Copies of this chain bind each other. A is one copy, B any other.
Amino acid sequence: MTDTPAIQRWAVRIEYDGTGLVGWQRQSSGVSVQGLLEEAASRLAGGTPVGSITAGRTDAGVHALAQVAHLDFPAGIKLTPHAVREGLSYHLKPHAVVVVDAAPVSLDWNARFSATWRAYRYRILNRRARPALVAGHVWHVKSPLDTERMNEAASLLLGLHDFTSFRAAACQAKSPIRTLDHLAVRREGDEILITARARSFLHHQVRNMVGTLKQVGCGYWAPERVAQALAARDRSAAGQTAPAEGLYLSGVGYEPDPFSPPATER
């Protein structure tokens, strides 16, 4: 027995197109990001199984610009950030999943529990014509949305609240209390971009907030009704769950950031 740990933990930042995937978590019913990543890592480790933990278990069809996970490799394998990034991305082909950055971390670092914030963005294509160039990557809403009203409603959700009204029935979190640090709505041409940030979110929370803001944007609801929906602590008081295809996990924060400076500059 020695003091050398048998495991070398690596943090990885991952981009993926969620189209056609069953989401992060391994499932028997289809292709998952976790399954693809662990399979790629196992190939890089010469066949040894490699487990992973992620910062956010995205649902089927949800995309990621900057998902973070950690992977536990056997310590005996010599790996560099370059080899982990390139090797995993190679073995992830031809899937639309790629490792953008990799960094060695200590065993007390955990992609899920060390995260200090998660950020999401949600894209709505707001025009009559269906999407051609961004099909599968936006929620197509035909009726004109008023982003000022949506922004006013969004501000009512900021801060510490019981988000029961915006929580999926299947949500496994112990508490429905969350602190929403940022929620903003802006228009960029035909698209509406909704950005959200919190230490953590409940299951479907972002999509349920977006579906509710859409009710305000198209004039069905007054902005104040969102505050009433929040206060009701009842899922049926809020709006619909916005489709998965418009949602992107856009960032996960750590202090310190294991990827700073990026591996490409190391």
Instruction: List chain B residues, Cβ under 8 A from A101.
Output: 129
Are A96 and B135 in touch, CB under 8 angstroms?
yes
Question: Do residues B65 and A130 form an inter-chain contact, with CB atoms below 8 A?
Answer: no
A127 partner, pick from B127, B131, B137, B264, beta carbons under 8 A: B264
A:96-129 near B, CB below 8 Å: 96-101, 127-129
Q: Are A130 and B89 in contact, CB atoms less than 8 angstroms apart?
A: yes
- Give A127-146 as 1s and 0s: 1 = Cβ < 8 Å from B's Cβ atoms: 11111110101000000000
Tell me the interface secondary structure of chain A in the complex.
mixed
Inter-subunit contact A85/B17 (CB<8 Å): no
Contact B133 A16 (CB under 8 A): yes
Number of copies: 2
Are the C-beta atoms of A132 and B97 separated by less than 8 Å?
A: yes
**Cβ–Cβ contact A264 & B128, under 8 A:** yes
Which residues does chain B contribute within 8 Å of A128, judged by CB atoms? 85-86, 100, 264
B96 touches A132 (CB 8 A): yes
Q: Is the CB of B89 within 8 A of A133?
A: no
A38 contacts B by Cβ under 8 Å: no
CA distance A133 to B97 in the complex (A): 8
Known contacts A100-B127, A127-B100: A132-B264 contact under CB 8 Å:
no
Indicate if A203 sits at the interface (CB-CB under 8 A): no
Q: Can you list 25 residue pairs at the A/B interface with Cβ under 8 Å?
A: A15-B129, A15-B132, A15-B133, A16-B132, A16-B133, A17-B132, A17-B133, A17-B135, A63-B133, A65-B133, A85-B128, A85-B129, A86-B128, A96-B132, A96-B133, A96-B135, A98-B129, A98-B130, A98-B131, A99-B129, A100-B127, A101-B129, A127-B264, A128-B264, A133-B137
